[in-house]
Amino acid sequence: MSLDYKREIAEQVSDYIDEAVELAKELIEIPTVNPPGDEYEECASFLVSRAREYGLETLTIRVPEEQLPSLTLWGSTLPRVNVLARWGAGDGPKINVHCHYDVVPPGKGWSVEPFKGVIREGRLYGRGASDMKGALAASLVVAKALKDLKIKPWGHLILSFTPDEETGGRAGAEFLLTNGYLKPDMTIIPEPSEVYNIWNAHKGAVWMEVILHGKAAHASRPKEGINAFYAMIHVASTLMKNREKLESITSAYRSIWGAEKPTINIGGICSSGGAVNVVPERARFTIDRRLIPEESMEEVEDELRKVIEDSAKEINVDVEVRTLLRAEASSTPKNAFICGVLSRNVEMVLGKPPTFTLCPGVLDMRHFVRAGIDCVSYGPGLMKTAHAIDEYINIEDISTYMKVLALTVYDVLAQFSPY
């Protein structure tokens, strides 16, 4: 593998930038909003036809209808369609680039149309531009470019395009992995990590719902009832006092977004009672607890339950605790093969080695790590604009990513090549 040859590949791949941006625009124009999971069928068939045009083999995998209620949190009557696209030959390594095509709802206050794909001053604007349709388009066009360049692969590049990442990924990444559709040797997820940075770890999350049961009474005789709202305040205050303890825990992973501490968010959803003149008999609130990789999800969950139950017992109120989401933190060691190859190519393209950091959000990475696959997240999007109003991606970053990805795929598939 001569360096000159690699420079030539990078050079040639950068000629495909306009095609990648155009494809990203077309994808932004399909509003695959999740929740609930709109336009998945349309987006999946568009991806299949484009991948076939590029000369890739494709496979469409629909989640069976009867499994949808257990694998989705919202929109369980809507189809969940996964797409695999493959390029390569022989029995060499399988490198997977895993992309989700769902996007979060746009929200209000945009200065451009969220589903138009507007180009302005070197940026592509639109919902999903950074997270992660820009990266998805770039990855697909890289596969085309490698094929056009007539590079002889030994092994396969497998692109996976999945729905539902924004709501847990159970009908997407997890479905493909647990049912044996996807068995790569290594995976890159081009989430918006920013082009100079690789996420080799991410935080986990436990979501809980706490329901306090009191006793209704007329508001003119409050002593005859048990006010569930007061009980909620008591339990929530106890949790808030415990919050300070989290400040004393720090992850050994490096973070550039202050992600090294565990956090708790209380009351994201909260409700109580139904009438001004009634003592509320029921009150509920949610908890979003974020874990660093060093914490055990079971221990965190047990501890929260204990604090809540003890606190409710102090005031003799019945409490119900439900876990809504369990997403473990996960990581891939920095000395894994994929980390080395990716890091070398980032350095080659940008002139300096990337940082390896802990992602503050939950990633599909955990499904891969659980399946024993080395997985990192590296992509061109910007963390600060993902999920935000006026989301955008820098076109230059898409170009950087395309070069890094092409060289990484080349290195992996050329590694054991008999040619």
Closest CA to 362 of 191, 245, 179: 191
- The least CB distance from residue 131 to Zn ion, in Å, is 4
The region of 123-131, 260-268, 291-299, 352-360 touching Zn ion under the rule CB under 5 A is 123-131
Q: Among 393, 350, 374, 317, which residue's Cα sits nearest to residue 123?
A: 393
Nearest distance from C-beta of residue 175 to Zn ion, angstroms = 17
Minimum CB distance to Zn ion smaller for 319 or for 376: 376
Residues 189-218 that bind Zn ion (CB under 5 A): 191
The residue among 191 and 328 lying less far from Zn ion, judged by its C-beta, is 191
Contact 401, 379 (CB under 8 A): yes
Q: What token pair was written down for 177?
A: 């992995």
Find the part of the chain contacting Zn ion (CB under 5 A) among 65-73, 183-191, 279-287, 366-374: 183-191
| Residue with the two structure tokens 């409050």 | 222
Q: Rounded distance, CA 365 to CA 337, Å?
A: 16
Q: Decide if 247 contacts 323 (C-beta within 8 A).
A: no
Which range touches Zn ion (CB under 5 A), out of 176-184, 185-193, 225-233, 402-410?
A: 185-193
Task: Return all residues near 342 (Cβ < 8 A) that are at least 6 apart.
Answer: 188, 198, 354, 376, 378, 404, 408
The span from the CA of 365 to the CA of 201, in Å, is 8
Outline where 61-162 has alpha helix (H).
68-71, 134-148
* Residue 416 and residue 341 in contact, taking contact as beta carbons nearer than 8 Å: no
Query: In angstroms, what is the minimal distance from the CB of 63 to Zn ion?
Result: 19
Q: How far is the CB of 165 from Zn ion (least distance, A)?
A: 6
Closest separation between CB of residue 135 and Zn ion, Å? 9
| 164 binds Zn ion, rule: CB under 5 A | no
Q: How far is CA 316 from the centre of its chain?
A: 41
Q: How far is the CB of 122 from Zn ion (least distance, A)?
A: 22
From 131, 194, 391, 397, residue interacting with Zn ion (rule: CB under 5 A): 131
Cα 13 to the center of its chain, rounded Å: 26
Between 132 and 159, CB nearer to Zn ion:
132
Rounded to a whole number of angstroms, the minimum distance from the CB of residue 103 to Zn ion is 8
| Tokens of residue 262, six digits | 């565990």
Q: Which is nearer to Zn ion, 131 or 328 (CB)?
A: 131
Residue nearest to Zn ion (CB): 131
Segment near Zn ion (CB under 5 A), from 125-133, 141-149, 320-328, 371-379?
125-133
Count of residues binding Zn ion (CB under 5 A)? Answer: 3
- Check binding of 102 to Zn ion (CB under 5 A): no
Chain residues in the site for Zn ion (CB under 5 A): 131-132, 191
